[in-house]
Structure 1
Amino acid sequence: MTPIKVLLVDDSPVAMSIFRKVLDSAPEVQVVGTAQDGAEALNLIPRVQPQVICTDLKMPKMDGLEFIKHVMAKSPLPILVLSDAVQKQDIDNVFQVLQAGAVDVMPKPASVSTADQEELKRQLITKIRVLASKQVSAKPLT
């Protein structure tokens, strides 16, 4: 089975390290690139050709919402938003990212113990597997 190619976009070195470690431990997923903001990620997409993008929302230069809009307009791909800003109480943020074209959201874990890491891995890999099987269509920039 060919691994699912994932692009990670997050300005937090700690979050990037955790997600990278979790995904690198899963043989069915291959992290093909990392970026610290949406602008950097847009430049990477044609080179690394990810099948799924995992992005944060709050980033410098180009935030996650703007990044999602650009991806969906230029080269639509399934996007999973991994962010502190998509907790259950953040209905507006969740609605905005889904309306912009993201396929799913997942709150960043508050802490990551070894037990939490296994649960994070299970949830994240399941979501990535599902997203990789989804067809997404372009949305014009508005």
Structure 2
Amino acid sequence: MSSHVPGFELPLRLLLAFRLLIDELHAELGKQGHPDLRPMHGFVMQAIGPGGTTAVELGRTLGVSKQAAGKTIETLERAGYVERTTDPEDTRRKLVRLTAYGVDALNRSARIFDTLRARWAAELGEERMRELESDLRRMTPGNPWRLDMPGWFGNL
């Protein structure tokens, strides 16, 4: 039996691990009062940030069109995660801001990710978990906040 692992397995395993964590996150968020959130919504809410943003800036940050960003804003607005307001510094601009419900979803997500990491550490061992994280940091760019993932995947 060959010990050769085909090169394509690495990205598939990394994607599978990402998918597993995100699916578990969203299952738990659903139980905690956020059943309407979808994986791409997290990227969008992170890109909106605490100070808010415009649809144009959001699209640019996410790597999608203004129209795609606008549709996602509408979806999140209907679900109560964001609101549109007038920019106090320029009344011609409309800002998109997170609501308290949106902030709650992000705060819960952070706690759930901590729980998921702890579960992985319990399975792999804390030292191996730290080594895995260190290896991934070594092999990837310094800033993990690539919010343009939706654009890279093709759409929201």
Could you say which structure has the larger radius of gyration?
A: 2
More strand per residue: 1
Which structure: greater helix fraction? 2
Q: TM-score interval w.r.t. the shorter chain?
A: under 0.3
TM-score by length of 1: 0.26
